[in-house]
Amino acid sequence: MECLNKRLQVAGFLDNSLVNGEGLRSVLFVSGCRHKCPGCHNAAMQDFSYGDTVSLKEILGRIESNVPLIKGVTFSGGDPFEHAETLSELADSIKAMGLNIWCYSGYTYEEIVRSNDESKINLLNKIDVLVDGRFDSAQKEGAPKYAGSRNQRIIKLS
């Protein structure tokens, strides 16, 4: 359980949300994003030092306090794939609670798969649904449910 002492830069946490994926979910917002999409809805969270440094153990305790009400956990930000190694470890513990995982990323599915970055691919393999791609304000109208713009896709991975 040594890994649970690992720490993550956290921008925010919602205990219950209905708009960040299917069903009632807790949402973890991590700090740091390199995509710089114009019109970003969470601009402050692009900063890698925004928010608080929190241990995985504390995050899991907060998630656990919402079980059995929630159906799953959503990783958002910021870009969760900038913290792929730590979030992979967190994902293992979340799955052990019987919860599913949605994850938002500015990277597309193809960019992650072709990155040859072992930790990013490892995280991809642990999430159930990926909402992918950068936010494009010109494609905001008619965006799929749970996405911010039409170019983003809701990809079921499991």
* CA separation for the pair 123, 102 (Å, rounded): 11
The least distance separating ligand SF4 from the CB of residue 16, rounded to whole angstroms, comes to 22
Q: Is 44 helix (H, G, I), strand (E, B) or coil?
A: helix
Check: CB of residue 127 under 8 Å from CB of residue 95. Answer: no
Q: Which is nearer to ligand SF4, 79 or 128 (CB)?
A: 79
Q: Is 85 helix (H, G, I), strand (E, B) or coil?
A: helix
Q: Which is nearer to ligand SF4, 97 or 109 (CB)?
A: 109
Task: Enumerate residues 7-46 that contact ligand SF4 by CB under 6 A.
Answer: 33, 35-37, 40-42, 45-46
Check: CB of residue 29 under 8 Å from CB of residue 76. Answer: yes
Please give the structure tokens belonging to residue 89. Answer: 């470890």
Task: Enumerate residues 68-127 that contact ligand SF4 by CB under 6 A.
Answer: 77-79, 106
Q: Which is nearer to ligand SF4, 128 or 132 (CB)?
A: 132
Q: Which is nearer to ligand SF4, 9 or 93 (CB)?
A: 9
* CA separation for the pair 121, 114 (Å, rounded): 9
Verify binding: residue 128, ligand SF4, rule CB under 6 A. Answer: no
Verify binding: residue 131, ligand SF4, rule CB under 6 A. Answer: no
Check: CB of residue 3 under 8 Å from CB of residue 16. Answer: no
Check: CB of residue 87 under 8 Å from CB of residue 59. Answer: no
Q: Which is nearer to ligand SF4, 43 or 67 (CB)?
A: 43
The least distance separating ligand SF4 from the CB of residue 96, rounded to whole angstroms, comes to 28
Q: Which residues bind ligand SF4 (CB under 6 A)?
A: 33, 35-37, 40-42, 45-46, 77-79, 106, 134-135
